[in-house]
């Protein structure tokens, strides 16, 4: 965002996408002073663009109702983001969308000027993403009806295969969908269990939309709930492990979890909650660097158990 010209255009775009915006907000977005935003508004008015301004509390700028322009073509940055996104969708195989992705690319390229088009091509041809992809088998067939139900806030009837009880039938008010480690989940209120539950899509046999609407609780976050339901299954252990390594090597093993490591004089402290000492212990067993378990005792035990098992498995 270099010159004033592009900023004025961006201001126009911002006003068109968001309805009303305050000067302060615009100033933040455009990275200029509030005073300058006023000057830009004035410039738009000089160009004959009808900007309504409202003074006082709850005031702000807005384009006159009915004034609509088509959006500007994507910028270089936007094209990068878009192309990377499509690459990611393709690499993650989140849904059975390979042909859809190609045709989206084709449609978008058709409306781009040559320069952008070749840029988009370059991105999709010369960038490779190696991402953990999902199971090869099942395209998530139930995604479509679930999305509809969530959008319309419509209850559904699920035929769901649990590990313990086999096929169950339950009425569910679906709140949100989640994709994690190659699998799709749907979260919602389950009338059978009378609680929030999360269901794996590949275990759903049948989805039936009901003529019952519901109201989604405010601020429901599927990821939040998922994490919560993982952590609260049992135990909820407070785990503290000191890793004797540096941030870079830690990142190689932990990925983004590495961000929450705390610096200590003798290493990096991993302070985290987990549901299951055994699971966490096994995970720790792959670390190429040394570590010290501060708490809990169960974790030490889990690691010892695993080590014992490994000795036997690799025995000659």
Which 9-28 positions form the footprint of DNA (CB under 7 A)? 22-24
Q: Pick from DNA, its own copies, none: which does 309 bind, CB < 5 to 8 A by kind?
A: its own copies
Which 38-77 positions form the footprint of DNA (CB under 7 A)? 38-43, 53-61
Contact with its own copies (CB under 8 A) among 21, 27, 32, 84: 84
Instruction: Give the HSE-up count for residue 267: Cα atoms under 13 Å, Cβ half-sphere.
Output: 17
Q: Is the dihedral of CA 266, 270, 275, 281 positive or negative?
A: negative
Q: How many residues bind DNA (CB under 7 A)?
A: 30
* Beta carbon nearer to its own copies, 80 or 272: 80
Instruction: Give the HSE-up count for residue 135: Cα atoms under 13 Å, Cβ half-sphere.
Output: 10
36: three-class secondary structure by DSSP: helix
Which 151-180 positions form the footprint of its own copies (CB under 8 A)? 151, 175-180
294 lines the binding site for its own copies (CB under 8 A):
no
Pairing relationship of beta strands 51-54 and 60-63 according to DSSP bridges: antiparallel
Closest approach of Cβ 194 to its own copies, in Å? 23
Taking CB under 8 A as the binding criterion, the range among 6-14, 53-61, 154-162, 265-273 that sits at the site for its own copies is: 6-14
Tell me 93's DSSP state.
T
What φ, ψ does residue 148 adopt, rounded to 5°?
Answer: -60, -50
Contact with DNA (CB under 7 A) among 13, 29, 32, 251: 32
Contact with its own copies (CB under 8 A) among 167, 192, 212, 310: 310
Q: Pick from DNA, its own copies, none: which does 119 bind, CB < 5 to 8 A by kind?
A: its own copies
240: three-class secondary structure by DSSP: strand
CB 312 within 8 A of CB 306: no
């Amino acid at each position: 965002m270099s010159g004033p010209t592009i900023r004025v255009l961006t201001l126009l775009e911002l006003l068109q996408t968001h309805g009303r915006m305050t000067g302060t907000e615009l100033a933040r977005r455009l990275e200029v002073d509030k005073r300058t935003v006023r000057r830009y508004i004035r410039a738009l008015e000089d160009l004959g663009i009808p900007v309504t301004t409202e003074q006082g509390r709850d005031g702000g700028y807005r384009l006159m109702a009915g004034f609509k322009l088509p959006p500007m073509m994507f910028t270089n940055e936007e094209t990068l983001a878009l192309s990377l996104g499509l690459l990611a969708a393709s690499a993650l195989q989140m849904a059975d969308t390979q042909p859809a992705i190609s045709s989206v690319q084709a449609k978008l390229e058709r409306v781009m000027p040559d320069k952008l088009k070749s840029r988009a091509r370059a991105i999709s041809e010369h960038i490779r993403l190696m991402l953990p992809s999902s199971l090869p088998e099942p395209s998530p067939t139930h995604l479509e009806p679930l999305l509809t139900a969530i959008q319309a806030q419509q209850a559904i009837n699920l035929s769901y295969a649990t590990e313990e009880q086999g096929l169950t039938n339950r009425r569910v008010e679906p709140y949100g969908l989640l994709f994690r480690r190659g699998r799709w989940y749907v979260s919602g209120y389950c009338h059978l269990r009378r609680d929030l539950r999360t269901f794996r899509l590949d275990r759903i046999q049948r989805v039936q939309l009901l003529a019952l609407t519901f109201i989604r609780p405010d601020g429901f976050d599927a990821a939040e709930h998922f994490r919560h339901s993982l952590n609260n299954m049992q135990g909820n252990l407070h785990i503290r492990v000191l890793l004797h390594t540096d941030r870079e090597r830690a990142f190689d093993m932990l990925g983004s979890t590495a961000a929450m490591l705390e610096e200590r004089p003798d290493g990096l402290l991993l302070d985290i909650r987990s549901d299951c000492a055994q699971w966490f212990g096994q995970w720790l067993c792959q670390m190429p660097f040394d570590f010290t378990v501060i708490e809990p005792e169960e974790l030490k035990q889990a690691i010892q158990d695993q080590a014992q098992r490994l000795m036997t498995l690799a025995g000659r």
